[in-house]
A and B are shown apart, each in its own frame.
Chain A
């Protein structure tokens, strides 16, 4: 567990390099909710590039996991929790126009006030939720 932060840092550098590559290469902001949301509700442009991006995003972790670097989400098996969590993440990120990658990574690195406010709001709400769940329900 001591080396978790090294993997975190290396993984983070990959995430940031991916965002830099997409921005400098195609002029797009690498926000997962914006890219996927645009594909889902039909508001996005560049359908082909979006599909290619999502294919890479799903494909490489799949190959890594098959190749021996196993992934495990350890997600809850409580269906109500999963559905409620999915709905709020989907609706919330689209209303806010961004998630961890868009507001967090791309926004903070641009010294965006909107990105900073969003990041404080979702980390704060997430922290309160986790704390209440643990104290209230033992989840």
Chain B
């Protein structure tokens, strides 16, 4: 049951990214181009995506997930350095190419070699983070 729901959710996510234009780097970079010829489409994508989730979070109250377990509790609202530095770094990459993790996967079948190079670099970056974290942690403790 968990597998079926996960597959359906992934498929719906992929279809939404495909339909909305999130896999089109020209559209994404057009949204980020506030100082130029701004394309507001992504505002509608984000707005449309937030609506069902507003309802979903409301429905989690006093209930449990359909397949058992518990709903994720909210992380302590600490604005940490990794949160800001990581998001800025992500934004730079998003601006450079116009792909974020979801669309990079959703466009795998038609993104050509460019998409594969981007995805390979992205996965390499993700893989390096536990090691990077350890290095940064030792540096801060020894400083």
Contacts and interface: CB of A to CB of B under 8 A. Distances in A.
A85 B97 contact: yes
B71 A23 contact: yes
Interface residues of A, number: 108
Interface in B12-64: 12-27, 29, 32-36, 39-57, 59-60, 64
Contacts of A82: 97, 114, 117-118, 121
A56 B9 contact: yes
Interface residues on B, range: 35 or more
Interface string A27-68: 111101100110011010010111011111111111011100
Contact of B15 (A26, A30, A60): A60
Contacts of A112: 74, 77
B25 to A, nearest CB: 5
Given A71-B107, A75-B115, A61 B17 contact: yes
Contacts of A55: 7, 10
A14 B13 contact: yes
Given A52-B10, A105-B50, A125 B88 contact: yes
B102 A101 contact: yes
A21 B33 CA distance: 33
Given A18-B13, A82-B118, A11 B102 contact: no
Contact of B121 (A19, A53, A86, A121): A86
Given A27-B70, A85-B99, A128-B95, A61 B109 contact: yes
Interface of B: 2-27, 29, 32-36, 39-57, 59-60, 64-67, 69-72, 74-75, 77-79, 82-112, 114-115, 117-130, 132-133
Given A16-B48, A27-B64, A125-B88, 6 more contacts: A18-B13, A56-B8, A86-B117, A89-B100, A105-B53, A109-B50
